[in-house]
Amino acid sequence: NTCIWGGATGQDRSLIMLRKFLLATFYCSLLQQCVTFQFSSHKASHLKNIFSSRICRRTQHPAVSRIVLAAASDTELKNGIANFYDQSSPLWEEVWGEHMHMGHYGQKGDEKKSDVQAQIDMVDRLLDWGQVSAPTHVLDVGCGVGGSSRHIARRYGCKVTGITLSPLQCEHAKERSRLAGLADQTQFMVADALKLPFEDESFDLIWSMESGEHMPGKKEWLEECKRVLKPGGRFLMATWTHRDTEMLSCGHLSNENLDAKEKRLLSKISKYYYLPEWVSCSDYKMIAQELSFTDIRTDDWTDAVRPFWPAVWRSALSWQGFKGLIKTLRKGIETLRGARAVLLMIRGFNKGLIRLGLLTAVKQ
């Protein structure tokens, strides 16, 4: 029931892209068919998110909401992510340190502790929840500057390999490991999680702390992770997800069931943080089942991390944050966009739309 109809590329100007898109949706409602419209740039996919929900409302045509994003330009996305972390990591490290993820403030989010301690607790709570016992070689997918990698290396005395798309993060991660006396136990490289440069069955634990949201194809990504896991090895992640929605028929992600306002909010956040596709925790569970993982468990730790984004907002207003902002003032617009993105994240959490989802699963 799908009518394939052209697309838009990164070279198209916004207006041309919009015209093509409007024509596609017009045919879509005329033919009462689901249209596949390819957007081959991050910018274009953002447009799609905005307009598909508006047009859908106007035409009341459910098929229009089924316009799917064919992520043709992986390179553009990867460069965007690498650049984003190259630019933003130094300021984050100065204010927050080595952990670039949310903190755990107790299951109800009401424990009083420092934000950095909450981040460390998050790593420990997730390892406990994942029932990780004695890994020997761990892959940290989307390692940032290696905060989790070093923590895991210390806790289990194991070897950890971390990968990131950002060359700057990779360099900082190596330097931090050297200073911590963990250079022998940890190694870092610039590599793509969707094309892991490792042999089959290399690791007994794959750890992913808040990197899944950047992956363009969740199923392809989990499949690639499964390939490099040893039999009996565990996949363990915490990631940004959207709230659960009514499940859709096979092949469709549940984000199609979010309402127009929710889609618009996620779309704005995606554009800033380079997030190609939002899914729910249930979607992840379904994907893990499809890939024949076993011992699949999911959980929702939204309440536990609730104080985090307001803390990020406060840190931007603190003296240290202020100094950082001054340093980056020449990139004034970028800085303002970052502040707006933090507020959007807070709104997403408050609305119950954005969740912190957990998944663990074992390769048979």
Q: How far apart, in whole angstroms, are the C-alpha atoms of residue 290 and residue 93?
A: 38
Closest CB to ligand SAH among 36 and 166? 166
Q: Which of 44, 47, 64, 81 touches ligand SAH (CB under 6 A)?
A: 81
Closest CB to ligand SAH among 156 and 274? 274
| Contact predicate 213/275, CB 8 Å | yes
- The reply to whether 321 sits near ligand SAH by the rule CB under 6 A is no
Minimum CB separation of residue 159 from ligand SAH in Å reads 17
- The reply to whether 99 sits near ligand SAH by the rule CB under 6 A is yes
Q: Which of 192, 244, 299, 303 touches ligand SAH (CB under 6 A)?
A: 192
**CA-angle at 134, arms to 99 and 303, nearest 5°:** 40
Tokens, residue 158: 């194991």
- The reply to whether 189 sits near ligand SAH by the rule CB under 6 A is no
- The reply to whether 239 sits near ligand SAH by the rule CB under 6 A is no
Per-residue HEC secondary structure of 284-301 comes to HHHHHHHCCCEEEEEEEC
251: Cα within 13 Å, side-chain hemisphere: 4
Minimum CB separation of residue 85 from ligand SAH in Å reads 5
Interacting residues with ligand SAH between 134 and 153 (CB under 6 A): 142-144, 147-148
Q: Which of 18, 182, 189, 194 touches ligand SAH (CB under 6 A)?
A: 194
Q: Report the DSSP beta bridge partners of residue 137.
A: 159
Minimum CB separation of residue 288 from ligand SAH in Å reads 19
Q: Report the DSSP beta bridge partners of residue 145.
A: none
Minimum CB separation of residue 64 from ligand SAH in Å reads 30
Site map (CB under 6 A) of ligand SAH, residues 46-75, x = contact: ------------------------------
Q: How far apart, in whole angstroms, are the C-alpha atoms of residue 265 and residue 346?
A: 11
Per-residue HEC secondary structure of 199-254 comes to CCCCEEEEEEECCHHHCCCHHHHHHHHHHHEEEEEEEEEEEEEECCCCCCCCCCCH
Closest CB to ligand SAH among 37 and 92? 92
Burial group, residue 64, by CB count within 10 angstroms (0-12, 13-18, 19+):
buried
DSSP H or E run through 305: helix 302-305
Minimum CB separation of residue 89 from ligand SAH in Å reads 8
What residue type is 364 in one-letter code?
Q
- The reply to whether 101 sits near ligand SAH by the rule CB under 6 A is yes
Q: Which of 5, 39, 85, 96 touches ligand SAH (CB under 6 A)?
A: 85
Shortest CA distance to 182 belongs to which of 239, 98, 104, 253? 98
Minimum CB separation of residue 96 from ligand SAH in Å reads 9
Q: How far apart, in whole angstroms, are the C-alpha atoms of residue 141 and residue 163?
A: 5
Minimum CB separation of residue 195 from ligand SAH in Å reads 9
Closest CB to ligand SAH among 20 and 101? 101
Site map (CB under 6 A) of ligand SAH, residues 150-169, x = contact: -------------xxxx--x
- The reply to whether 210 sits near ligand SAH by the rule CB under 6 A is yes
Minimum CB separation of residue 166 from ligand SAH in Å reads 5
Contacts of 347 (CB under 8 A, 6+ apart): 265
- The reply to whether 309 sits near ligand SAH by the rule CB under 6 A is no
**CA 175 and chain centroid, separation:** 25
| Positions in the binding site for ligand SAH (CB under 6 A) | 81, 85, 99-101, 142-144, 147-148, 163-166, 169, 192-194, 209-211, 214-215
